[in-house]
Amino acid sequence: MTMTLRAKTLDREMLAQAADYLAVGVAVSLPWSTSASGILIALWLLATLPTLDWAAAQREIAIFAGGLPVALWLLAAVGMLWADVSWSARLEGLGGYHRLLAIPLLLAQFRRSQRGGYVFYGFLASATCLLAASWATALIPGLAVAGKPPGVPVKDYVLQSEIFLLCAIALGAVACDLWRGHGRRLAAVLFALAALFVVNIAFVITSRTVLLVAPFLAVMLGWRQLRRKGILVAMLAGIAVAAGLWLASAHLRERLLDSAHELRAYFTSSDISSTAMHLEFLRESMRILETAPVIGHGTGSIGEEFRRATAGQTGVSSVATVNPHNQIFAVGIELGLVGVAVLLAMWAAHAVLFRDRGIASFIGGIVVVQNVISCFFNSHLFDFSQGWLYVFGVGVAGGMVLRERSRVSARYAPLPGAPRLAEQPVPAGARNDDL
């Protein structure tokens, strides 16, 4: 009997270790390959599920950060009942919500695991390799990948720019911590690497969404370092950097001027451009949402509703889509204002989860803010790469934060038999330094 229990414990520990390293593999593969990521995610699930007991799952679902993603999935599952489309379309629509169920699993896994930092190290190493490949394909024409713009070796430029921005801001935070300590040489190296990520965004390939997200993440970095003074410093530094990049980068100027031209053309002509389609999708989404504002048209109904809305139209108004390029409208069309409320509550719960000053908390926070802002212009939770980037970023960082809070609470818990105090104080300097 004892031997059997030991064997089961050993098997459980081996699976837990495998699950941790498979999570690292997912982080490494996300910038490069959708198929490899999908395989690794499936293997991660197979390794993770046997290691979690019902009590651990209940604990994570009981908190808002883990329970609200499950609530949104359940609402989407119920939403299939009133969708006026085929069941295949309903199931396909529900597929966009499936990855949210991994958030409580990751919270539970990395609340108990000490390898959460490995996931972020793996992601940074992979992103750095992607940075090198981007510079290579941009500077050496013969290395450019067919069908992709120079500087984009794999996937798409939007994802690449988002990854580079997240890495640059996270590296800036770590470098600032090291600079205040005794690691100024390493801090200088990290600052230089962060600068290479930023310069790539400005000079090689630029995403308009990233340009909108960058000021918010810079302010978050300033707040973390110097609180109110840091916000002012971040704003002034951001203005100086933006002015310098505007003067130095013809690519950046051309990108922004083209966007301004497309915006003017939307109001003065019927030209079909990227900006025009985005604005038209938003306008049509508002009309569709108004026809079923409370519970929406049902899960999987976006494509059919857009086909009905654009029937008989001309020009840019005739373009139908299954992606309204706005996460709030993507959920609202299917699940109404009820679904939007759950989505916003989920984002808020994840933002509150990362209120500490530790580096893991900061990384989780910038992942949330980046996703929220970009989702005003994209449906990133429903996109494979960006969706899993959010899920793993929140799940791994959230698990690390919860682990640290549990450790601090245990450290300052009263001894057995000691009189209970109204509240056990947590030292002001307690931080999450698992990375």
**Residues 321, 306 contacting (CB under 8 angstroms):** yes
Give the separation between CA 317 and CA 310, rounded to whole angstroms.
6
For residue 175, the number of C-alpha atoms closer than 13 Å in the C-beta half-sphere is 19
5 CB-contact burial (10 Å; exposed 0-12 / middle 13-18 / buried 19+): exposed
Question: Per mean pLDDT, which of 51-55, 265-269, 411-415 is the most reliable?
Answer: 51-55
Query: Is pLDDT at 270 greater than 70 in this prediction?
Result: no
Question: Which pLDDT does position 415 carry in this prediction?
Answer: 56
Give the separation between CA 254 and CA 205, rounded to whole angstroms.
11
Burial 62-90 (b: 16+ CB within 10 A, else e): eebbbbbbbbbbebbeebbeebebeeebb
Under the banding of pLDDT at 50, 70 and 90, the label for residue 423 is: very low
pTM: 0.90
3-state per-residue secondary structure call for 177-240: HHHHCCCHHHHHHHHHHHHHHHHHHHHCCCCHHHHHHHHHHHHHHHHHHHHHHHHHHHHHHHHH
Query: Is pLDDT at 434 greater than 50 in this prediction?
Result: no
Angle, in degrees to the nearest 10, between helices 87-95 and 64-79:
170
Question: Which pLDDT does position 221 carry in this prediction?
Answer: 94
Question: Which pLDDT does position 8 carry in this prediction?
Answer: 58
**Closest-CA residue to 105 (of 12, 27, 25, 20):** 20
Query: Is pLDDT at 421 greater than 50 in this prediction?
Result: no
Under the banding of pLDDT at 50, 70 and 90, the label for residue 373 is: very high
pLDDT, one tens digit per residue, over 146-193 is: 888 889 999 889 999 999 999 999 999 999 999 988 788 999 999 999
Under the banding of pLDDT at 50, 70 and 90, the label for residue 2 is: low
- Residues of the chain with pLDDT > 70, as a percent, come to 91
Q: Which of 158-167, 267-276, 350-359 has the lowest mean pLDDT?
A: 267-276
Given the structure tokens 């108990």, which residue do they identify?
112
For the chain, the average pLDDT equals 88
Question: Which pLDDT does position 353 carry in this prediction?
Answer: 96
410 CB-contact burial (10 Å; exposed 0-12 / middle 13-18 / buried 19+): exposed
**Closest-CA residue to 65 (of 347, 396, 355):** 347
pLDDT, one tens digit per residue, over 81-131 is: 999 999 999 999 999 999 999 999 999 999 999 999 999 999 999 999 999
**Closest-CA residue to 289 (of 324, 313, 319):** 324
| 87 contacts: CB under 8 Å, gap ≥ 6 | 80
Query: Is pLDDT at 380 greater than 70 in this prediction?
Result: yes
**Closest-CA residue to 275 (of 325, 318, 237, 235):** 325
Give the separation between CA 397 and CA 122, rounded to whole angstroms.
14
Q: How many CB atoms lie within 10 A of CB 268?
A: 7
Mean pLDDT of 180-207: 91
Question: Which pLDDT does position 363 carry in this prediction?
Answer: 96
Question: Which pLDDT does position 145 carry in this prediction?
Answer: 86
Give the separation between CA 129 and CA 123, rounded to whole angstroms.
10
